[in-house]
Amino acid sequence: MNTIILPTFSGRKEVSLADIVRLEGAGNYTEFILNDGQRLIFSKTIALFEEQFPFPFVRIHKSCIVNLAYLTETWKRGKKQLSMHDGTEVPISRRRRKEVRLQVQQFSRQNVVIG
């Protein structure tokens, strides 16, 4: 699966997974932040999207899923947030920190981080 088809008011929009930097949830809505700065809002919960996105998409707290391909630095000891290529610092929940660290390390071994 390289793309996702999302419902819009004017029909459907096809979005490449490689273009998605992160997803941010707010109640029953999810905002997609794309690498070109575009923001798309959909009336579905982030939990529904979490099931559809493969690795390197990682849920780092209850309202955020990030694409590890857009990290600007690798994991550092004691890190409590991730630095993304668009300059945002996204906090990692305490409960998910260990799993996120392992996934970042796995991704870093397999790929070069954008930065």
Three-state secondary structure call for residue 110: helix
Evaluated on CA atoms 109, 111, 45, 36, the torsion sign reads positive
Name residue 77's amino acid. Answer: R
pLDDT tens digits for range 31-62: 999 999 999 988 889 999 888 898 999 999 99
Taking the model in full, what pTM does it have?
Answer: 0.87
For the chain, 115 residues long, give each residue's pLDDT as a single digit of tens.
Answer: 688 888 777 788 899 999 999 999 999 999 999 999 999 988 889 999 888 898 999 999 999 999 999 998 766 667 788 989 888 989 999 999 999 989 988 888 877 544 4
Given CA atoms 54, 60, 61, 66 in this order, what sign does their dihedral have?
Answer: negative
CA–CA gap between residue 64 and residue 47 (Å, rounded): 10
The closest of 64, 71, 68, 109 to 87, measured between CA atoms, is: 71
All domains of the chain in start order, with CATH: 3-110 (2.40.50.1020)
